[in-house]
Amino acid sequence: MASYDSTTGLPKTTAFENGVLLLTLTLVTMLYAMSVTIANVSLPQIKGALSATTDQIALIVTFNIIATAVATPMTGWLTARFGRRSVMIWSVAGFTVASFLCGTATSLEQLVVYRFMQGACGAPLVPLSQAIVVDSFPKEKIGSATAIYGMGVVLGPILAPTIGGYLSETYSWRWVFFMIVPCGLASLVGVMAFIKRRRSRPSAHLDWTGFIALALSIAAFQFMLDRGQRLDWFDNWQIVACCWVAVLGFYIFLSHSLTAERPFLNPRLLTKRNYVLGLLFAFVFGLLNFTPITLLPALLQTLRGYPDSIVGIILGIRGTGTLLGFTFMFLRGSRIDPRITMFAGFFLQGVSGWYMAQFNINLTTFDVLWTAWLQGLGVGLIWVPLSMVTFSQLDETETAEGSAVFHLMRNFGSSVFISISIAIMIRTGTTSYSELSENATPLNQGLAFQDSLFTIWSLDNSQTLAALSGEIGRQAIMIGYLNAFYAFAITAFAVCPFLFLAKVKK
């Protein structure tokens, strides 16, 4: 009979078993990290295959993030109710099946549903894997184990778009999801073989009223943002209904949290200055994290004709910047004031966004590479000190509850800003097209020189007129993207002064 550790309730294991367990958990984490970015590289191809518009195709990204945000707070309750091993097995299995179904989708509605399932099933993987790593290793080895485990988080965004872009270009967009299946099956075998059952399970409580009210509010608000531009905002009954559901759900959540004995969000946590500021910073971090990798593939493929493989490499280069940032924080981060490294991270993201807002229709690969890499570096510099500041004033009994809300805010911010950025791009692009097309008139002297280099823009026949209309459309869309990048840069710069409001012990 296996002997159990009296502290963790887990079976005692050898160094070899711990090593294999660590590799399994790293693979599981990399599996989830791959799914977050892997679809972005093929969004334009999916858009054409499923006859979707730009704002419709964004649902594939935003609803996956929303599902993760909503399901993550349930991890503690699921673990206490069914055990870590069972939750990991079913999560990996459900995630793998959902990934396969994404590859078989024949309509946008099916793909959105399957991506929602993928996000919901994948939500427990990272927090559970991290908890098992901490519990399975002695205190003196937790640092090294966490560093190896963290490679899964970093390598996923590097490998996924690079390999996914090649498969998408060579075969089709469906293979960006099919490629996850073998990794999922390998992870499932490893989880079943090396994750042991606990002898005892800690009790957990989930405030279902507050949780469901908040989940409905977030989902309704997200749908309103995603579909608002297409449905003409509050002139459409669906947007009005979603707005009321969002407001009513948040009111129920807020009033219940202030009156319930054990609410989903303990109001006492909001008395901790660093925690409140950390939630704000996490929300802004979420706003910035996934927006560029959602906008860039469409810009490069639609306006510049880049193949999927090159776009995948560009997104992978962004991941190398993140890897460098994490490496720096691992080696030197503990010696630097976390507010300074957070400031550097957000400032670098702002600089990157500002330079992206200076792009023109003839942008080069190098322009995109170095700005994307700089964004990745900013992400790597922000994450560790952000976590340190947020949880610095919380007790051990408050960490699990605080972590659930922290990750919810981060994911919610990501989905919100993706929708806002796409709305900015579409709305300002449409406005710019109207303004630019006013110059396509016989009274424009620039179009009157038929023997010049501008003969292609002549208004004499339908072919040249169509070419002129197409070029105006390209330029207008580019202006829309630039405005979205301006919003990205302004958001990053705006949060920088507030970072120093956090209190840090010397």
What HEC string does 201-250 produce?
CCCCCCCHHHHHHHHHHHHHHHHHHHHHCCCCHHHCHHHHHHHHHHHHHH
> How many CB atoms neighbour CB 351 within 10 A?
17
Q: CATH topology of 10-197 equal to that of 264-440+452-506?
A: yes
Average per-residue pLDDT in the chain? 79
| Residue 24 clears pLDDT 70, i.e. is over it | yes
Taking the CA atoms of 388, 390, 393 and 397 in sequence, report the sign of the dihedral they define: negative
Question: How is residue 454 annotated by DSSP?
Answer: G
In the three-class reduction of DSSP (H, G, I as helix; E, B as strand; rest coil), residue 312 is classed as helix
**Domain regions of the chain by residue span:** 10-197, 207-252, 264-440+452-506
Work out the average pLDDT over 176-199. Answer: 80
Distance CA 294, CA 289 (A): 10
Mean pLDDT on 316-335: 78
Topology of the domain covering 264-440+452-506: Growth Hormone; Chain: A; (1.20.1250)
Burial of 144 (0-12, 13-18, 19+ CB in 10 A): exposed
The C-alpha angle with vertex 178 and arms to 173 and 184, in degrees rounded to 5, equals: 145
Q: pLDDT at position 354, please?
A: 93
d(CA 83, CA 140): 26
| pLDDT for the residue 333 | 60
62, two tokens:
């935003």
Report whether 250 contacts 265 (CB < 8 A): no
What is the dotted CATH code of the domain comprising 10-197?
1.20.1250.20
Alpha carbon 373 to chain centroid distance? 17
Backbone angles phi, psi at 4, to 5 degrees: -115, 145
pLDDT of 194 > 70? The answer is yes
Percent of the chain residues past pLDDT 70, beyond the cut: 84
Please tell me the predicted confidence (pLDDT) of residue 489: 92
Residue with tokens 């999927």: 308
Per-residue DSSP letter, 196 = P
pLDDT at 4: 47
CA nearest to 12, candidates 139, 192, 196: 196
198 contacts 53 by C-beta, under 8 angstroms: no
Q: Contact 446/323 with Cβ under 8 angstroms?
A: no
Residues 121-141 have a mean pLDDT of 74
Residue 476 has pLDDT above 50, yes or no: yes
43, 92 in Cβ contact below 8 A?
Answer: no
* pLDDT for residue 445: 64
Residues whose CB falls within 8 Å of the CB of residue 362, separated by 6 or more in sequence, listed in order: none
User: Is 471 exposed, middle or buried (CB count within 10 Å of its CB: 0-12, 13-18, 19+)?
Assistant: middle
* SS3 assignment, position 276: helix
C-alpha distances out from residue 354 to 350, 415, 486, Å: 6, 21, 6
3-class secondary-structure state, position 58: coil
The residue with greater pLDDT, 477 or 460, is 477
Residue 335's pLDDT band (boundaries 50, 70, 90)?
confident
CB-count burial class (<10 Å; 0-12, 13-18, 19+) for 49? middle
Inter-residue contact 88 to 125 (CB < 8 Å): yes
Q: What is the mean pLDDT of residues 127-141?
A: 70
212 φ, ψ (degrees, to nearest 5): -65, -40
Q: How confident is the model at residue 138 (pLDDT cuts 50, 70, 90)?
A: low
Q: What is the pLDDT of residue 1?
A: 45
Q: Is pLDDT of 268 > 90?
A: no
- In this prediction, residue 126 carries a pLDDT of 77
Per-residue pLDDT tens over the stretch 77-127: 787 778 878 888 888 899 899 989 988 888 888 888 898 888 888 888 877
In the block, residue with structure tokens 């894997």: 129
Q: pLDDT higher for 482 or 297?
A: 482
Give the dihedral sign, CA 151/384/58/221. positive
Most confident of 67-71, 159-163, 486-490: 486-490
347 has pLDDT over 90 = yes
- Separation CA 65–CA 86 (nearest Å): 23
Least confident of 240-249, 318-327, 452-461, 471-480: 452-461
Which is more confidently placed, 416 or 14?
Answer: 416
Tell me the per-residue pLDDT of 444-465, one tens digit each, with 9 for 90 and over.
666 655 555 545 566 666 777 7
How many Å separate Cα 472 from the centre of its chain?
32
Per-residue burial over 258-293, b = 16 or more CB atoms within 10 Å of its CB, e = otherwise: eeeeebbbbeebeebebbbbbbbbbbbbbbbbbbbb
Out of 127-141, 236-250, 337-351, which region has the weakest mean confidence (pLDDT)? 127-141
Q: Please classify residue 497 by burial: count the beta carbons closer than 10 Å to its beta carbon, then call 0-12 exposed, 13-18 middle and 19+ buried.
A: exposed
What pLDDT, on a 0 to 100 scale, did the predictor assign at position 493?
93
Q: Is 442 exposed, middle or buried (0-12, 13-18, 19+ CB in 10 A)?
A: exposed
What local confidence, expressed as pLDDT, does residue 265 receive? Answer: 74
Residue 473: CB atoms within 10 Å: 16
Q: Which pLDDT value is given to residue 127?
A: 77
More confident: 386 or 394: 386
Return the HEC string of 7-36. CCCCECCCHHHHHHHHHHHHHHHHHHHHHH
Q: Which of 8-12, 274-278, 283-287, 474-478 has the lowest mean pLDDT?
A: 8-12
Answer whether residue 179 shows pLDDT above 80: yes
Q: Tell me the C-alpha distance between 200 and 197, whole Å.
A: 9
